[in-house]
Amino acid sequence: KAQLPIVPASLSPAQLDVAMRAFAGASIREIALARGVRPKTISNQLDATYRKLGVGSRIELYALLAGMKTSAP
């Protein structure tokens, strides 16, 4: 079965989408293009996501999400 990370419910839908795209390896520019917003908006969403999750970087975000994986039903 697919492995999906579990993320806190405190993230907004936009923050969750951005976090998952970042987790998948997309750049800020790629995420911005996919969401139809400016790269600065994505940077701001990532910063807010880092604060909510208690991490300080994309590497820490990846490690956190990778460590929270669980099997999908």
Query: 32-60: per-residue pLDDT in tens?
Result: 999 999 999 999 999 999 998 888 998 88
In whole angstroms, give the CA distance from residue 54 to residue 47: 10
- Residues with Cβ within 8 Å of 12's Cβ and at least 6 positions away in sequence, in order, are none
Q: Which of 14-23, 32-41, 58-67: highest mean pLDDT?
A: 32-41
CA 16 to chain centroid: 6
pTM tops 0.95: no
- Residues with Cβ within 8 Å of 70's Cβ and at least 6 positions away in sequence, in order, are 3, 4, 6
In whole angstroms, give the CA distance from residue 4 to residue 61: 14
Query: Angle 68-42-50 (CA atoms, 0-180°, nearest 5)?
Result: 40
